Amino acid sequence: MKLLICIVQEQDAHILRDDLIEAEVGVTTLATTGGFLRSGNTTFLIGISADRVDEVLEIVKNSSKTREVSTSYMPMTMGTDTYIPYPLNVTVGGATVFVLDVEEQIKI
Ligand code: 2BA
């Protein structure tokens, strides 16, 4: 069994959730915050048998778009909570996925 941790942009989260549910994939979502941009994203916890990992990755790929994001602040601290104003464009997504081995899933 595998655990996929998928971080996607908030705009893509509802489509991905619907697609996973339709494919009968169990999922838990967490509201998370990106460390670099410090803006909201959504993290999916997906427990799945190893033979379905490629299928799930394909669903994630089809649901998660790449976007250019502009921010007017470079989220860098100077020892304190000081932000340096700086125009910044970054390409975010489609999705960041970690694939972990799961020793056991227990339902109590
Ligand atoms: P953020 O940390 O807010 O990063 C948003 C985007 O900013 C990243 O998109 C990347 O294009 C850029 N970025 C991140 N760190 C950077 C840096 N040190 N210098 C320049 N640009 C940087 P993605 O790579 O698509 O990542 C989207 C979100 O996925 C991230 O949001 C973070 O929440 C998560 N993530 C990405 N890599 C991760 C990792 N190795 N571990 C944990 N979470 C990760």
The two structure tokens encoding residue 50: 């190893």
Q: Are 64 and 94 in contact (CB under 8 A)?
A: yes
Q: Which residue has the tokens 């410090």?
A: 38
What integer is the mean pLDDT of 46-56? 98
- Euclidean distance between CA atoms 15 and 64, whole angstroms: 9
- Euclidean distance between CA atoms 46 and 62, whole angstroms: 16
Ligand 1 atom 44, closest CA:
96
Residue 77's pLDDT band (boundaries 50, 70, 90)?
Answer: low
Cα(4) to centroid(ligand 1), Å = 17
Cα(44) to centroid(ligand 1), Å = 16
What are the backbone angles phi and psi of residue 73, rounded to the nearest 5°? -125, 130
Asked whether residue 75 carries a pLDDT value surpassing 80, the answer given is no
**What is this structure's pTM?**
0.90
- Output the pLDDT for position 55: 98
Residues with CB under 6 A from ligand 1: 7, 34-37, 41, 90-93, 96
- Mean pLDDT score of the chain, rounded to an integer? 91
At 107 the three-state DSSP class reads coil
